[in-house]
């Protein structure tokens, strides 16, 4: 005898279980990802004049943007589906891929939500009372023709006019109300808001660098640039395409500051998904590569993985990690390990300086060159899979540690004229010339 066993999911499973896989802060950033995906569809290279405004308090959560919105067709076929349909169109440089992010975030926060979207063609709104939606049923028939009740997973929408709209421009407005008690408590906690602010600035720093404005309760958030390269050295750099994914791997020297900041940073379609990683997942403690040690505090690596077809990216569902079993990532890891080996060879030599090692690191730290991740990603090839160590010779550390570095900014045109007049070949040489000139004029070197 053969029969059918029902394997359909339940709404309760989605609401109570899948929402556990993600923190509230990550759920909020998931919603911001959707806004940035909209910005990307407007202009991939420049997000100027685009805004995402987030309002959070114990009574409600609101995110509003002017990033183009999504059409009614997208809402009907894809945006409100639980999971990504097989016939969904190929994504174009986004980070959304599984079809659960927006719904998971909304269901996690509260018992009621509204989503409004305005485009050139459509203007509609979806209002959901979670309790009513959870209990909503449809009549179907089993294999014997008997009537049965099944969960109705559909949402109702209504077209709206500008007079009733929360939006002045094409974009999206999302509001969650009747918050769960633990969520309302979090949203009323200043430390939570501070942590969320830091998360947004770090994780979405690439988009901030491209000009988008993000506000949190009226405060405009700042860009968090990455300090990567020492200006006296050249990083290891690999560029190529691996199975349809554009890959750029950079590894070099950073500053000597917070040891926690050392390690690997991985971006997928400009979204930071791994940061400060010092585990075997990014090559440490594998093969001949040692585990991370404070002696390697200056190491920093950045990986960019980009694909128009987002499903090819080795992302986890929460976008907080990499699928290390992915064939694309394993191939990328080869170059990450190559970069690690190249840089660590130099850092091991620094360690041999013993008590002078910290002085040398500090000396290099004075030479750091701050660049944005956008510059790092778009800059021309800086090195051919070879790390070029700093010009300051390790053997000269005993002399160098008794010296200080003097630097200042000056008008470029005037500086060029002065350098040419001094016959110095570069600004470093010109700086030494001006210092010696001052000593000579003031006659203080013999005092």
User: For 389-402, what is each residue's pLDDT tens digit?
Assistant: 887 766 665 555 55
Nearest to 344 by CA among 240, 258, 263: 263
- Is residue 300 very low, low, confident or very high in pLDDT (cuts 50, 70, 90)? very high
Report angle CA 179, 181, 186 to the nearest 5 degrees: 85
Q: Any idea how long the chain is?
A: 447
**Domains of the chain, each with CATH number or no CATH:** 11-220 (3.30.565.10), 226-400 (3.30.230), 412-442 (no CATH)
Check residues 97 and 195 and name the one with the higher pLDDT: 195
Q: How far apart are CA 373 and CA 387, in angstroms?
A: 19
Residue 307: the pLDDT is: 92
Between residues 99 and 16, the one the model is more confident about: 16
**Least confident window among 97-106, 144-153, 305-314, 352-361:** 97-106
pLDDT at 178 over 90: yes
Instruction: Give which of 135, 116, 104, 128 is closest to 178, Cα–Cα.
Output: 128
Higher-pLDDT residue of 389 and 221 is 221
| Burial label, 421 (beta-carbon count in 10 A; 0-12, 13-18, 19+) | exposed
Residue 295 pLDDT > 80, yes or no?
Answer: yes
d(CA 442, CA 447): 10
Please give the share of the chain, as a percent, with pLDDT higher than 70: 86
pLDDT value, residue 442: 67
Tell me the two tokens of residue 138.
């449809």
Please check the confidence at residue 48 and state whether its pLDDT lies above 90: yes
So what's the pLDDT on residue 388? 86
Find the helix or strand (DSSP H, E) in which 240 lies. Answer: strand 236-242
Q: What is the pLDDT of residues 106-150, one digit of tens each?
A: 999 999 999 999 999 999 999 999 999 998 988 877 777 777 788
Mean pLDDT (whole number) for 181-195: 97
Burial of 329 (0-12, 13-18, 19+ CB in 10 A): buried
365, pLDDT greater than 80:
no
E-assigned strand segments in 57-163: 60-65, 110-118, 123-129, 137-141, 147-151, 157-159
φ, ψ of residue 428 to 5 degrees: the values are: -65, -45
What does pTM read for this prediction? Answer: 0.78
Helix (H) or strand (E) holding 32: helix 24-42
């Amino acid at each position: 005898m053969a029969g059918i066993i029902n394997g359909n999911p339940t709404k309760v499973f989605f609401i109570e279980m899948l929402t556990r896989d993600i923190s509230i802060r990550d759920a909020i950033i998931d919603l911001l990802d959707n806004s940035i995906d909209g910005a990307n569809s407007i202009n991939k290279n420049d997000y100027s004049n685009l805004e995402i405004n987030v309002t959070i308090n114990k009574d409600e959560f609101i995110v509003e943007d002017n990033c183009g919105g999504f059409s009614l067709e997208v809402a009907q076929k894809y945006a409100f589906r639980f999971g990504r349909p097989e016939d969904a169109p190929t994504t174009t440089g986004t980070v959304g891929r599984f079809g659960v992010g927006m719904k998971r975030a909304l269901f996690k926060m509260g018992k009621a939500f509204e989503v409004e979207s305005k485009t050139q063609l459509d203007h509609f709104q979806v209002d959901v009372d979670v309790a009513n939606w959870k209990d909503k049923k449809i009549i179907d028939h089993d294999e014997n023709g008997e009537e049965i009740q099944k969960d109705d997973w559909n949402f109702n929408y209504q077209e709206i006019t500008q007079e009733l709209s929360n939006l002045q421009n094409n974009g999206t407005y999302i509001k969650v109300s009747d918050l769960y008690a633990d969520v309302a408590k979090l949203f009323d906690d200043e430390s939570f808001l501070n942590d969320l602010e830091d998360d947004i600035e770090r994780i979405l720093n690439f988009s901030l660098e491209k000009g988008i404005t993000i506000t949190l309760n009226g405060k405009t958030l700042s860009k968090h640039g990455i300090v990567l390269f020492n200006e006296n050295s050249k990083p290891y750099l690999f560029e190529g395409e691996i199975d349809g994914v554009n890959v750029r791997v950079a590894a070099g020297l950073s500053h000597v500051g917070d040891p926690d900041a050392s390690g690997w940073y991985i971006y997928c379609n400009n979204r930071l998904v791994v940061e400060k990683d010092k585990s075997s997942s990014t090559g440490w403690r594998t093969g001949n590569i040692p585990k991370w040690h404070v002696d390697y505090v200056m190491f920093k690596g950045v990986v960019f993985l980009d694909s128009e077809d987002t499903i090819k990216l080795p992302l986890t569902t929460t976008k907080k990690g990499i699928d290390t079993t992915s064939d694309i990532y394993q191939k990328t890891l080869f170059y990450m390990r190559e970069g690690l080996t190249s840089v660590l060879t130099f850092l091991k030599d620094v360690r041999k300086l013993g008590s002078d090692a910290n002085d040398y690191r500090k000396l290099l730290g004075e030479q750091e060159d701050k660049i944005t991740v956008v510059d790092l990603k778009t800059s021309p090839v800086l090195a051919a899979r070879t790390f070029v160590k700093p010009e300051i010779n390790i053997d000269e550390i005993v002399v160098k540690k008794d010296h200080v570095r003097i630097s200042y900014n000056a008008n470029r045109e005037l500086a060029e004229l002065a350098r040419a007049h001094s016959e110095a070949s570069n600004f470093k040489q010109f700086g030494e010339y001006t210092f010696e000139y001052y000593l000579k004029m003031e006659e203080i070197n013999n005092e």
